[in-house]
A and B are shown apart, each in its own frame.
Chain A
Amino acid sequence: MDKKKRRLISRTIILLLLGAALVFALYTNFTKDKNESLRKGSEAPNFVLTDMEGKEHKLSDYKGKGVFLNFWGTYCKPCEYEMPYMENQYKNFKDQGVEILAVNVGESDYAVNNFITKHDLTFPVMIDKGREVENAYRVDILPVSFLVDKEGKVIDIITGALTEESIQKHMERIKP
Chain B
Amino acid sequence: MKEVKCDCGHVNPFGTKICGKCGMVLGNEKENQLIDMRYEGSARRSQTYKKTIIDKIWNFFSSVKVGVTLIVIALIASAIGTILPQEMYIPSTATPAEHYELEYGWFGRVYYELGFHNLYSSWWYLIIIGMLGISLLIASIDRFFPLYRSLKKQGVTRHDGFMKRQRIYGVTKLEEQDINLEEVKDRLKRQRYHIREENGHILAEKGRFSRWGPYVNHIGLIIFLIGALLRSVPGMYIDKVLWLREGERKEIPGTNGQYYLQNNEFTLEVYDKESEEDKQYSAAIDKTGTIAKTYQSDVTLYERKGETLPGEKVDLDKLKDYKIKVNEPLKHDHYALYQVDYKLDELSTMAFNLINKKTEEKYGSLKVDLNNPQKKYELKEGYSVDLISYFPDFEFDEKGEPRTISKIPNNPAFIFKMHTPDKPEGEVSFVAIKETVEPLGENTYKMAFNGVETQDVTALTVRKDLTLWILFTGGIIFMIGVVQGSYWNHRRIWIKRKDDEILLAGHTNKNWHGIKRDIKQAIESTSLSEPMDQLEEEKSSSKGEVLNG
| Residues from chain A with Cβ under 8 Å of B137 in the complex | 14, 18
CB–CB A133/B311 < 8 A: yes
Q: A8-B54, A22-B127, A28-B233 are in contact. Are A58 and B121 (CB under 8 A)?
A: no
Q: In whole angstroms, what is the CA distance A159 to B127 when docked?
A: 31
Q: List the B side residues contacting A49 at CB < 8 Å.
A: 311
Interface with B: A86-94, A105-113, A146-154, which one?
A105-113
Shortest distance from the beta carbon of A138 to any chain B beta carbon, whole Å: 9
Smallest CB-CB separation from A107: which chain B residue? Answer: B407
Among A62-70, A124-132, A166-174, the one that faces the other chain is A124-132
Q: How many Å lie between the Cα of A107 and that of B250 in the bound state?
A: 14
Interface string of B382-417 (1 = CB under 8 A from A): 000001011011000000000111110000000000
Q: Is B371 in contact with A108, judged by CB distance below 8 angstroms?
A: yes
Which residue from chain A places its CB closest to the CB of B406 in the assembled complex?
Answer: A75
* CB contacts between A and B, total, < 8 Å: 112
Using Cβ atoms and an 8 Å threshold, which residues of chain B touch A106?
A: 407
The stretch of B211-219, B372-380, B523-531 in contact with A is B372-380
A136 touches B310 (CB 8 A): yes
Q: Which of B34-82 contact A (CB under 8 A)?
A: 45, 49, 52, 54-55, 57-58
Answer yes or no: B329 CB below 8 A from chain A CBs.
no
User: How does the 8 Å CB contact mask read for A65-87 relative to B, with 1 for contact and 0 for none?
Assistant: 00000000111010000000000
Could you tell me if B253 and A135 are in contact, using CB atoms closer than 8 angstroms?
yes
B310 and A108 form a contact (CB under 8 A): no
Given contacts A29-B126, A108-B371, A136-B257, contact A11 B55 (CB under 8 A): yes
Number of interface residues of B (CB under 8 A): 48
Residue of A26, A28, A126, A128 near B123 (CB, 8 A) is A26
Of the candidates A21, A77, A105, the one whose C-beta lies within 8 Å of that of B130 is A21
Whether the pair B49, A14 counts as a contact (CB closer than 8 A) is: no
Q: Say yes or no: is B312 at the interface (Cβ < 8 Å to chain A).
A: yes
Residues in chain A near residue B404, CB distance under 8 A: 74-75
| B134 adjacent to chain A (CB < 8 Å) | yes
Closest residue on chain B to residue A113 by CB atoms: B375
- A46 in the interface, Cβ–Cβ < 8 Å? yes
Interface contact B229-A25, CB-CB below 8 Å: yes
Are A128 and B311 interface neighbours, CB within 8 A?
Answer: yes
User: How far, in Å, is A91 (CB) from chain B's closest CB?
Assistant: 26
A45 interface residue per 8 A CB criterion: yes
Closest Cβ–Cβ distance, residue A49 to chain B (whole Å): 4
Q: How far is the CB of A141 from chain B (nearest CB, A)?
A: 9
Q: Within 8 Å CB of A14, what residues of B?
A: 137-138, 141
CB of B232 within 8 A of CB of A8, answer: no
A45 with B310: CB separation less than 8 A: yes
A111: nearest chain-B partner, CB-CB: B390
In the assembled complex, the Cα of A135 lies from the Cα of B232 at a distance in Å of 19
Instruction: Choose one: B141, B232, B251, B375; the contact of A131 (CB below 8 Å).
Output: B251
Q: Which of A18, A24, A110 contacts B387 (CB 8 A)?
A: A110
- Size of the A side of the interface (Cβ < 8 Å), in residues, is 44
Question: Contact between B372 and A110 (Cβ–Cβ < 8 Å)?
Answer: yes
**A122 contacts B by Cβ under 8 Å:** no
> Which has the most chain A C-beta neighbours within 10 Å: B45, B312, B373?
B312
> Which of chain B's residues 210-246 have a Cβ closer than 8 Å to chain A?
226, 229, 232-233
| B309 adjacent to chain A (CB < 8 Å) | yes
Question: How far does the alpha carbon of A14 sit from the alpha carbon of B126 in the complex, in Å?
Answer: 19
From the candidates A8, A18, A29, name the one contacting B134 in the complex (CB within 8 A): A18
Tell me which residues across on chain B come within 8 A of A21, comparing CB atoms: 130, 133, 226, 229
Across the interface, do A108 and B406 meet the contact criterion of CB distance under 8 Å? Answer: no
> B310 and A135: CB pair below 8 A?
yes
In chain A, what residue has the closest Cβ to B46?
Answer: A11
In the complex, what residues of B have CB within 8 A of residue A47's CB? 309-312
B466 to chain A, nearest CB (A): 15
Query: A32, A74, A107, A111: which contacts B232 (Cβ < 8 A)?
Result: A32
Contacts of B407 in A (CB 8 A): 73-75, 105-107, 111
What is the interface of chain B, defined by CB distance below 8 A to chain A? 1, 45, 49, 52, 54-55, 57-58, 121, 123, 126-127, 130-131, 133-134, 137-138, 141, 226, 229, 232-233, 250-251, 253-254, 256-257, 309-312, 371-375, 387, 389-390, 392-393, 403-407
Q: A18-B137, A73-B407 are in contact. List 8 more A-B contacts (CB 8 A).
A: A14-B138, A22-B130, A22-B131, A47-B310, A110-B372, A111-B392, A133-B310, A136-B257
Can you report 24 residue pairs joining A to B where beta carbons are below 8 Å apart? A4-B1, A12-B54, A15-B54, A15-B58, A21-B229, A22-B131, A24-B229, A25-B126, A25-B130, A26-B130, A29-B232, A48-B309, A75-B405, A109-B372, A110-B390, A111-B407, A113-B375, A128-B310, A131-B251, A132-B257, A132-B311, A133-B310, A135-B310, A136-B310
